[in-house]
Amino acid sequence: MPNRLANETSPYLLQHADNPVDWWPWSPEAFAEARERGVPVHLSVGYSSCHWCHVLAGESFEDELTAAYMNEHFVNIKVDREERPDVDAVYMEAVQAATGQGGWPMTVFMTADAEPFYFGTYFPPEPRQGMPSFMQVLEGVRTAWVGRPEEVAEVAQRIVRDLAGRELDYGKAGTPGPEELAQALLGLTREYDAPRGGFGGAPKFPPSMVLEFLLRHHGRTGSEGALQMAADTCEAMARGGIYDQLGGGFARYSVDREWVVPHFEKMLYDNALLCRVYAHLWRATGSDLARRIALETADFMVRELRTEQGGFASALDADSEDPATGEHVEGAYYAWTPDGLREVLGEADGESAAAYFGVTEEGTFEHGKSVLQLPQDGPVVDAERIAGIKARLLAARAERPAPGRDDKVVAAWNGLAIAALAECGAYFDRPDLVERATEAADLLVRVHMDGRARLSRTSKDGRVGANDGVLEDYGDVAEGFLALASVTGEGVWLEFAGFLVDLVLDRFTAEDGSLYDTAHDAEKLIRRPQDPTDTAAPSGWTAAAGALLSYAAHTGSQAHRTAAERALGVVAALGPRVPRFIGHGLSVAEALLDGPREVAVVGHPEDPALALLHRTALLGTAPGAVVAAGLPRTADGGGGEFPLLAERTLVHDLPTAYVCRHFVCARPTTDPVELAEQLGTVRP
């Protein structure tokens, strides 16, 4: 019989709806039940594509005896961290503070007042490698709860006090300047893995936001070292197993330093961010590899993550069914053996494919299987022949049981996808990608906003979720709308972005200019989450700062610019110390130092000369430049849809571009080459 999770929209929660555990969703009613029964709360946090979440569920949550014990002695709450990042952030901070590490699944035991007193992540069904079994943990917590209640209460209260003392104070750090960004670059250089690309050791995550900072730093300063680190890392990832050599798109991370074996889940946010990075790398260098990866990643998102409603699903699972064994295992959908290649391609093409993609008899993965790569020392194979081989392998792979898909539409991650697809469509003459970006933006307005004075976090199948958006939703969706406005010349997207950034000022901003992850009227947790550091995606803090800055450049609003500058104090404080963990903030700071430049392109929308100037403006490498294109805007508000177009005149009755900083403009030009030079573009 299904439990209470059967009524939820989250695919992760629905995966647990048939567990024998009597799960509750996060709700006041669950805590009231714990208070009435006098039992502790067991909180389990995960997400649908999390491998070890599935393992814990199969080993313990689907076990009748374990479930019976949980039901008798606990109120059990299941949370999808992607739906409730605020709940996840608060308790993950407690877990990391207490244990020095964190991860998912996250296991927390707490009082009926939501005060945590014991933490962990994955626990096995039997004691293993120094870890207690899950049942031992349950029994130990139950024993302490019954036998030492005063001690449990004291521990819980101390943890809450410690968390409350972690308030951030970056209001006095000041706006980051060239010195702080140079120090950040130096710090990255020290941590750079020159032989392999990327930063640090295993596991190695795609440093998408750091790469964007490096590209912007090169755009502002001309630093060849910054560009080289970005280009070499992008090439290493594109050649590695972390990139799907057949279907496009990136896996979550590499378990090794060489990018060979990935953790196979594919997340929308990773692919949106990396799609944009590779497009910007092409914009800076003209690299054919960067162009191919950007387009293949965009096509992957559209083909495999787009929902019927026009939004983009959150993720594809790491696990899928192995046809040989019937078991769900990691990588079954993606890995190959030499025999498997020959079976699909025949002897000659199979041998060529094995050499080209680095598939060996020993294997690079598990059980003699290999993850496809493009080794630097691989053979040269005719491009047309390789295209045919890839098409045949992709068709054969499509016959395998596919990984599950989390169809939940997360507002923030769709904002990232909108920006990436809109820009790829503009750069590479792919109007279909701009259309997909516009459709996703329409869905966010229609379903996630829907006339409400706030943004909803998620939807599924066109049905809006119950949770309000957090700061990253407002920042990333505004960023997506601003990119779409620049690409399409449709001012309505600037208006929607303005609505969202105004809500950031009204509902998320403290008096000192710092930002909170939740609104002032959001559900009160044991701590109001506030984390400026970037993790897998831009933090809400830095995403909002970027959107505020771009909106100010579009409109001339000093209030929005001042808010962005105050928020960027965190970058001045953290950038020189931990640059890997505030890459997006560093990128926004680069835009601030460069202006950002305001580019107005005026002319008739049907004039090909306007289209050429517009595209040249979009290809400019000036960090964070904003672009408005269309008819001139008259003094009475008629004509063009953007404030930047106000009273701009055509030179010699030709489409004309104006490049400005702080609304002080260079000489207007009708020449795309001159415009490219004004924007620092390597190629027109």
Q: Are residues 650 and 563 in the same domain?
A: no
Inter-residue contact 85 to 269 (CB < 8 Å): no
- Domain closes at, from 540, 560, 594: 594
How many other CB atoms sit within 10 Å of the CB of residue 153?
15
For residue 165, the model assigns a pLDDT of 67
Q: Are residues 507 and 434 in the same domain?
A: yes
Contacts of 341 (CB under 8 A, 6+ apart): 350, 353, 354, 359, 393
For residue 636, the model assigns a pLDDT of 59
The whole-number average pLDDT for the span 583-589 is 98
Q: Is the pLDDT of residue 682 over 50?
A: no
Contacts of 222 (CB under 8 A, 6+ apart): none
Q: Is the pLDDT of residue 378 over 90?
A: no
Is 495 strand, coil or helix? Answer: helix
- pLDDT band of residue 565 (cuts 50, 70, 90) is very high
For residue 18, the model assigns a pLDDT of 94
Q: What is the DSSP string of 388-446?
A: HHHHHHHHHHTTSPPPPEE--EEHHHHHHHHHHHHHHHHHTT-HHHHHHHHHHHHHIII
Place of tokens 């045949």: 392
What whole-number distance in Å separates Cα of residue 92 and Cα of residue 97? 8
For residue 129, the model assigns a pLDDT of 81
Inter-residue contact 601 to 656 (CB < 8 Å): yes
Give the angle subtended at the CA of 236 by the CAs of 231 and 239, to the nearest 5°: 120
Q: Are residues 130 and 56 in the same domain?
A: yes
The whole-number average pLDDT for the span 60-87 is 96
Q: Are residues 653 and 542 in the same domain?
A: no
Is 386 strand, coil or helix? Answer: helix
- pLDDT band of residue 172 (cuts 50, 70, 90) is low
Q: pTM of whole model > 0.85?
A: yes
Q: Containing domain of residue 611, as a range?
A: 597-678
Percentage of the chain beyond pLDDT 70 is 97
How many domains does the chain fold into?
4
For residue 683, the model assigns a pLDDT of 36
For residue 97, the model assigns a pLDDT of 77
Residue 600 forms beta bridges with which residues? 628, 658
- pLDDT band of residue 677 (cuts 50, 70, 90) is very high
The whole-number average pLDDT for the span 367-384 is 89
How many other CB atoms sit within 10 Å of the CB of residue 1?
6
Residue 545 lies in a domain: yes
What whole-number distance in Å separates Cα of residue 35 and Cα of residue 239? 55
pLDDT tens digit sequence for 512-536: 889 999 999 999 998 899 999 998 9
Residue 684 lies in a domain: no
- pLDDT band of residue 84 (cuts 50, 70, 90) is very high
Q: Are residues 590 and 601 in the same domain?
A: no
Distance of CA 138 to the CA centre of its chain: 34
Query: Among 553, 623, 555, which residue's Cα sits nearest to residue 591?
Result: 623
For residue 383, the model assigns a pLDDT of 85
Q: Are residues 137 and 196 in the same domain?
A: no
Domain CATH for 267: 1.50.10.10
- pLDDT band of residue 433 (cuts 50, 70, 90) is very high
Q: Are residues 224 and 154 in the same domain?
A: no
Tokens of 472: 């990253």
Place of tokens 């303005």: 498
Domain CATH for 42: 3.40.30.10
Tokens of 119: 């933490």
Place of tokens 């080993």: 59
For residue 170, the model assigns a pLDDT of 62
Residue 115 lies in a domain: yes
Residue 171 lies in a domain: no
Read off the DSSP letter of residue 633: B
Q: Are residues 313 and 230 in the same domain?
A: yes
pLDDT tens digit sequence for 30-39: 999 999 999 9
Residue 170 lies in a domain: no
The whole-number average pLDDT for the span 442-456 is 90
Tokens of 362: 């020993």
What whole-number distance in Å separates Cα of residue 234 and Cα of residue 313? 25
- pLDDT band of residue 322 (cuts 50, 70, 90) is confident
For residue 51, the model assigns a pLDDT of 84
Inter-residue contact 201 to 242 (CB < 8 Å): no
Pairing between β-strand 626-630 and β-strand 597-602 as defined by DSSP bridges: parallel
Please give the mean pLDDT across all residues of the chain: 93
Inter-residue contact 633 to 645 (CB < 8 Å): yes
Pairing between β-strand 116-120 and β-strand 106-110 as defined by DSSP bridges: antiparallel
Q: Is the pLDDT of residue 355 over 70?
A: yes
Q: Is the pLDDT of residue 273 over 90?
A: yes
Q: Are residues 534 and 416 in the same domain?
A: yes
- pLDDT band of residue 684 (cuts 50, 70, 90) is very low
- Domain closes at, from 594, 621, 643: 594
Q: Are residues 589 and 639 in the same domain?
A: no
pLDDT tens digit sequence for 486-497: 999 999 999 999
Residue 326 lies in a domain: no
- pLDDT band of residue 93 (cuts 50, 70, 90) is confident
pLDDT tens digit sequence for 184-239: 999 999 999 999 999 999 999 999 999 999 999 999 999 999 999 999 999 999 99
The whole-number average pLDDT for the span 596-615 is 95
What whole-number distance in Å separates Cα of residue 572 and Cα of residue 175? 6
Q: Are residues 363 and 410 in the same domain?
A: no
What whole-number distance in Å separates Cα of residue 580 and Cα of residue 129? 31
Cα dist from 467 to 6, 8, 124, 476, whole Å: 17, 11, 32, 17
Inter-residue contact 419 to 479 (CB < 8 Å): yes
For residue 49, the model assigns a pLDDT of 83
For the chain, give the number of residues: 684
Residue 174 lies in a domain: no
- CB burial of 486-513 (b: ≥16 within 10 Å; e: otherwise) equals bbbbbbebbebbbbbbbbbeebbbeeeb
What whole-number distance in Å separates Cα of residue 551 and Cα of residue 548? 5
Q: Is the pLDDT of residue 168 over 70?
A: no
Q: Which long-range contacts (CB under 8 A, 24 or more apart) does 558-567 make?
A: 559/505, 560/501, 560/505, 563/504, 563/505, 563/509, 563/513, 564/588, 564/592, 565/175, 565/592, 566/171, 566/512, 566/513, 566/514, 567/513, 567/514, 567/515, 567/541, 567/542
What whole-number distance in Å separates Cα of residue 225 and Cα of residue 501? 35
pLDDT tens digit sequence for 104-137: 999 999 999 999 999 888 999 999 888 899 999 9
How many other CB atoms sit within 10 Å of the CB of residue 577?
12
Residue 224 lies in a domain: yes
Q: Are residues 537 and 616 in the same domain?
A: no
- Domain closes at, from 132, 164, 196: 164
For residue 450, the model assigns a pLDDT of 78
